[in-house]
Amino acid sequence: MSKSYKHLLSDFVNNVEESSTLKMAQMARNLKAKGIDVINLSLGEPDFDTPQHIKDAANKALEMGMTKYTPVSGSPELKLAVVEKFKRDNGLSHELDNIVVSNGSKQSFANVCFSLLNKGDEVIILSPYWVSHFEIVNMTGGTPVPVKGTIENDFKPTPAELAGAISPKTKMLVFSSPCNPTGTVFSKKDLESYASVISKYPDIIIVADEIYEYINFEGKSFSIGSIPEVAEQTITLNGFAKGFAMTGWRLGYMGAPKDIAVACSKIQGQITSGASSFDMVTEFEKRRNILVDLLKGVPGLKINKPNGAFYLFPNVSAFFGKKNGELVINSANELCDYLLNEAHVATVSGEGFGDANCIRISYAASEENIRKAMARIIEALGKLR
């Protein structure tokens, strides 16, 4: 078909930015389809298989005929398991009515935004941030207000910077820990300092995205919702995709104040209805160490050592203005394009994550591919003068 229908597209969809991670992943696939040996370090998808006991349980459920619609907010059995998990692992006290199971934690976040935000409401997002947090806030009429941390302090904004961003229009505070794209883990001390700020504003809702909870190299993650001063104004998002290598299963969940949980279930009921009815941390830590060791001596790269998730977020601004022949690198976007075309390694520009001086490198790949990719990247960067 050759006829264009772009003139029929809504203002809504025209104002939505394409996911930078998915865009780069597609560009990598296109090159691979041409027979080029591309190493894709753009997506946050573990290369491990889903653990066998989980697949066995799913097969058993299929054999038992558990293929029908589930309740919109999730089956009672799964919600009870989530309640118990929150209490055991996170120190969070929830009832079944506080839990909503969704088709991934991304949908959980969208449900929250559609349920809470009116046009012009401000949402403070600790930056660098996950691309979809920013864009979903935009989609639902809110105004994202990034509060930026720097690589020198492991991308952690100060409590004073957080306080300075609060206005009469502030409706939510959003962050992820461990963080995508930086790998930053906010400690108990960090989160207590943020809670001391937000507790003064009981109508500001905290949204804590904890999807990378189990990929933490420093020990157990801490949940801001376990702090009594802000417990009742905190929404905790989580899911199975990252910690259990279940990205394609599309299964996430949230714990929220009852009124908000009911609203989120109402939104979900009109869009998708209900969701469908191991130890990798040591390996990820090993891969992080390999990546950091390989890149820490590269002239022009500024890196820190992330404590969680599976991303490195180096500052690459020293390469802006450099050339390879006639090609000039003016931005992180252009550097990522250069690395894809010159080194055949897919990375993602930090621009979509709130820091245009950085790129995101995922190490959710095999050690062999990480070493091969870094050799290619180092060679390509060495050609820039």
The answer as to whether 60 is a domain residue is no
Given 3-state DSSP classes, what are the helix, strand and coil percentages for the chain, each rounded to the nearest 5? Answer: 45, 15, 40
Q: Are residues 292 and 234 in the same domain?
A: no
Specify the pLDDT at position 164. 98
For the chain (385 residues), the mean pLDDT of every run of 10, in chain order, is: 82 82 89 93 79 77 76 89 94 96 91 95 97 94 96 96 98 97 97 98 97 90 97 95 71 94 92 69 90 95 95 97 96 97 97 96 94 97 96
Q: Are residues 298 and 250 in the same domain?
A: no
Q: Are the C-beta atoms of 320 and 336 separated by less than 8 Å?
A: no
Residue ending a domain, among 240, 271, 302, is 271
The structural domain count of the chain equals 2
Tens digit of pLDDT for each residue in 48-80?
Answer: 677 787 778 777 877 888 767 778 898 888 899
Residue ending a domain, among 248, 271, 294, is 271
Q: Are residues 153 and 16 in the same domain?
A: no
The answer as to whether 55 is a domain residue is no
Q: Report the distance separating Cα 141 and Cα 188, nearest Å.
A: 32
Q: Are residues 86 and 222 in the same domain?
A: yes
3-state secondary structure of 256: coil
Q: Are residues 224 and 309 in the same domain?
A: no
The answer as to whether 258 is a domain residue is yes
Q: Are residues 319 and 292 in the same domain?
A: yes
Q: Are residues 242 and 293 in the same domain?
A: no
Specify the pLDDT at position 1. 56
Specify the pLDDT at position 159. 98
Q: Are residues 181 and 324 in the same domain?
A: no
Specify the pLDDT at position 191. 98
Measured over the CA atoms of residue 265, residue 267, residue 273 and residue 274, the dihedral's sign is negative
Specify the pLDDT at position 276. 63
Could you tell me the residue range of the domain that residue 297 belongs to?
6-50+280-382
The answer as to whether 58 is a domain residue is no
Q: Are residues 35 and 137 in the same domain?
A: no
Specify the pLDDT at position 240. 81
Residue ending a domain, among 208, 236, 271, is 271
Residue 18 has a CB neighbour count (10 Å cut-off) of: 11
Q: Are residues 250 and 129 in the same domain?
A: yes
Q: Report the distance separating Cα 369 and Cα 132, nearest Å.
A: 27
This prediction has a pTM of: 0.86
